[in-house]
Structure 1
Amino acid sequence: MKPTADLGENWLKCIYPRDANSAWGGGGNYHRDHANFLCSDAATQMSQADLSSCSRVLGIRAGAAAAQWTAAFLAKYPYRRNGEEALRQCSLSVHDASQFEAAIQVSATNLKTSDDPWNELIVKPWQAADIPEIEAFFWSANSEGLFYDDDFLKAKEMAKKYVSPDGKPVPVVKVNLHANVVSLP
């Protein structure tokens, strides 16, 4: 998405370093409420403006270094597999640079500690008139560094359906995070 002044303030809500199964609705006893975009519940949210839950769940205050957030998260949630365990994690803040950095650091361990190597950045749903401008669609490699043609075709299809405000086509970018390679297909 193209950065805008209100993107972080109004649209980005929290980040889960690992797959949080948010597509399945969250809930249960895992401190997630739809009113808080599945980032927290009233008891665990940091504040009205910051819906992340790790500060309260891990007992760390704002201003802590990324290494402290990372260590605390990994100590509480050292390893998980698919299913119910995916729900057992707190959400980190998108408003605190150290927490966001910690989310990226924990995500880097996902290939070793999880069946699902992705993280989840929770974005507030928007109305059609409010959709932020998309600058590119990404086609990424799987954990073995392989690219699937079906994924590329889906990315191309999404890029065709999206019309940029200036009428120009939106590119599909090939990304292999395992080899630190970004290219146009």
Structure 2
Amino acid sequence: MKRISCTALVVIMLTLWGCQSSDPNQASGEGTLISTVATTPPQIVPPPVLPQAVGGQLDLRTLAGTGAIVQMTYPTITNGDNVRVSWIGSSYYESPLQTVGVTRPVTFIIPYSIVAASKGEDVQVKANYVFPGRNYLTSIPFKVTVVETSPPANSGEQVAYELNTRYANTSLTCTGNTPAYYCNGVIIRSTQSGSYDPWNPSPAADTLGGVSFSYMRRDAYVTSLYHASGFTFLPQEQANAQGKIAEYLCIYAYDAGTLVGPRGEKGCGLKPRSAPRADVSSCASVNVRTVAQWYAYTKTIQNRDYQCSLSTADATQFAASFQVRANRPPNMDALWNEMMVKTWAQNIPTSLPLESFFYVSTAGLAEAKTYQTKYRERTAGKWLPIIKLDLTKLNGNPFSYNSSDQAIQP
């Protein structure tokens, strides 16, 4: 191992002490050599860089649910060096130790939850060069204020922001103990571009008396949809405030195939079984109102086709519909949930609580552009945004707006 002379070591320590004293903002110990082992350490570690920070501010809206990138390097960086970063705010975070390789600068990610917990605060981010024995040299801090700005009003970006906000909201009830879909989650219908306008009930739905939607939020674990495009409805509180039509009938914890086989009550009734034969039309009628009761009952049925439907009027039953999805029974397929809405009249797009069109694939984007174009034609020039639903980002913010996705600009 290469040895450092006493003279060289003194020079290094004096240099570091001088760097510390020249910066009045530097905290005690920053830029100070703590260990005097016989290695070739950097003489000083510069502050790390947060490339997403602009003007001394780190915007949570820009992060869109993902972690904050932190990069560090220093003039004598060498393969095999051990480095880390720390986030110092109301939440403290120290990254795992990284060994320097060929990629420079070294990149770290501060978890979004840590950053979000520091909203409205001035925080410090420091880089550390770690010696053997966990002694370390600490950089001058990078100082940043965590903010959350609002998107432009009445924009596609705002719609995506609101979708993500509701998706992340896991409250079980809304104002007045109303069910969760009144104020949170995303009410979404997947469909296809066909001979009828996408917001119109299909011929099969007209016959049934109910239209199938799904209810998405982070703890509902809806990871796929039947089609690659469709539309979203406003939450019921907003729809009611605007006088928009949406009569929610029931919800199934898993897709119930409501258009397949006999099922009464606009798709909410029980499908007949050979033994015992049921002639009732809801979970409550078979004493299923809670998570435990749902599991007990579901053990007795053959498959998802024979589910009972939970209430969209009772907050506890509605919450059970997504709570049971955290632990899927073996006789339930890993599919979306199914929320039934009473059919509405044809050709009334401006009377519906339409919020956006969405897509999940390239083919779905082409369909969503068709929906957006049809909507403008049917509503004398009104506009709704096309929103991307990224099913790989369900643990973060899956909804995003891009102006290049729009068939028509606002």
> Into which bin does the TM-score normalised by the smaller protein fall?
0.5 to 0.7
2:388 partner amino acid: K
1:88 positional shift: 1.2
1:180 positional shift: 2.8
Out of 263, 280, 298, the residue aligned to residue 77 of structure 1 is 298
2:355 aligned residue: 135
Q: Aligned partners of 1:184 and 1:79: how far apart in 2?
A: 44
- C-alpha change, 1:21 and 1:170, in structure 2 (3 Å) is same
1:179 partner amino acid: N
Asked whether the 8 Å contact 1:39–1:122 carries over to 2, the reply is yes
Asked whether the 8 Å contact 1:18–1:110 carries over to 2, the reply is no
Out of 159, 170, 185, the residue aligned to residue 384 of structure 2 is 170
**SS in structure 2 opposite 1:37?**
helix
Bigger Rg over Cα: 2
> Whose RCO is larger (CA < 8 A, sep 6+)?
1
2:311 aligned residue: 93
The runs of 5 or more residues in structure 1 that have no matched partner are 46-52, 62-68, 141-147
Q: Aligned partners of 2:244 and 2:331: how far apart in 1?
A: 31
1:21 positional shift: 0.4
Q: Show structure 1 runs of 4+ deviating over 4 A.
A: 5-8, 108-114
* Structure with higher strand content: 2
Once the two structures are superposed, the pairs formed by residues 174-185 of structure 1 within 5 Å of their partners are: 174-175=388-389, 176=391, 178-181=394-397, 182-185=399-402
Q: Aligned partners of 1:79 and 1:152: how far apart in 2?
A: 41
Asked whether the 8 Å contact 2:304–2:332 carries over to 1, the reply is no
1:120 aligned residue: 338
Q: Aligned partners of 1:138 and 1:4: how far apart in 2?
A: 23
Asked whether the 8 Å contact 1:17–1:119 carries over to 2, the reply is yes
- C-alpha change, 1:169 and 1:127, in structure 2 (3 Å) is same
- May I ask how many residue pairs the two structures share in their alignment? 152
Q: Aligned partners of 1:73 and 1:123: how far apart in 2?
A: 22
Out of 231, 255, 261, the residue aligned to residue 19 of structure 1 is 255
Q: Aligned partners of 1:110 and 1:152: how far apart in 2?
A: 31
Asked whether the 8 Å contact 2:288–2:297 carries over to 1, the reply is no
Q: Aligned partners of 2:325 and 2:388: how far apart in 1?
A: 20
Q: What is the aligned-residue identity percentage?
A: 32
**SS in structure 2 opposite 1:138?**
strand
The runs of 5 or more residues in structure 2 that have no matched partner are 1-232, 271-277, 403-410
**Cα RMSD after superposing both structures:** 3.3
2:86 aligned residue: none
Q: Aligned partners of 1:135 and 1:112: how far apart in 2?
A: 35
Asked whether the 8 Å contact 1:133–1:165 carries over to 2, the reply is no
Using structure 2 for the length normalisation, give the TM-score. Answer: 0.32
Q: Aligned partners of 1:96 and 1:157: how far apart in 2?
A: 37
Q: Aligned partners of 1:77 and 1:89: how far apart in 2?
A: 7
Superimposed CA distance per residue, residues 16-35 of structure 1 (whole angstroms, 9 cap, x where no aligned partner): 110110122x41xxxx31xx
Q: Aligned partners of 2:332 and 2:313: how far apart in 1?
A: 26
* Structure with higher helix content: 1
